[in-house]
Amino acid sequence: RWARDGWRLALADVNEAGLAESLKLVREAGGDGFTQRCDVRDYSQLTALAQSCEEKFGGIDVIVNNAGVASGGFFGELSLEDWDWQIAINLMGVVKGCKAFPPLLERSKGKIVNIASMAALMQGPA
């Protein structure tokens, strides 16, 4: 929708091939922007992304925290590393995203949109 409305988008992910494809689709829809590899577990990568948005766009209007991962299986089957990985991305990635961008958002009166998965509403295997 934002691409169709001609917005300039900063696309960030750990999957660089996916980023390239997404930017192609944005441009085909009438938008533009840039891509930047970013792992939300690393706060310095998020602050670097915020800096890139400042340099390329002069600020931002909206940040969408949409990174998420899942490990399937029963509770007892999941390792502590699985839990650490999920919490680092699904929870702390959002927290870090919310902390990295406020200086830019305050100037533009921008908004933060946090996306959660359906897993928040569903019961998993016990």
Mapped onto helix, strand or coil, the DSSP state of residue 5 is coil
Count: domains in the chain: 1
Tokens read off for 3: 């691409």
Instruction: Let me know: does 53 contact 69? Beta carbons within 8 Å.
Output: no
Q: Select from 87, 104, 110, 103 the least CA-distant residue to 40.
A: 87
Q: Is 55 inside any structural domain?
A: no
Q: Is 113 inside any structural domain?
A: yes
Q: Is 42 inside any structural domain?
A: no
The residues facing 10 across adjacent strands are 34
Domain limits for position 111: 61-126
> What are the pLDDT digits (tens) for 45-91?
999 999 999 999 998 999 999 999 988 888 889 999 999 999 999 99
pTM: predicted TM-score of the whole model, two decimal places: 0.88
> What are the pLDDT digits (tens) for 91-118?
999 999 999 998 888 888 889 999 987 7
- Residue-level pLDDT at 72: 80
Q: Which amino acid is at 120?
A: A
Instruction: Let me know: does 33 contact 83? Beta carbons within 8 Å.
Output: no
Q: Is 37 inside any structural domain?
A: no
Is the pLDDT score of 34 beyond 90? yes
Instruction: Give the residue carrying structure tokens 């931002």.
Output: 60
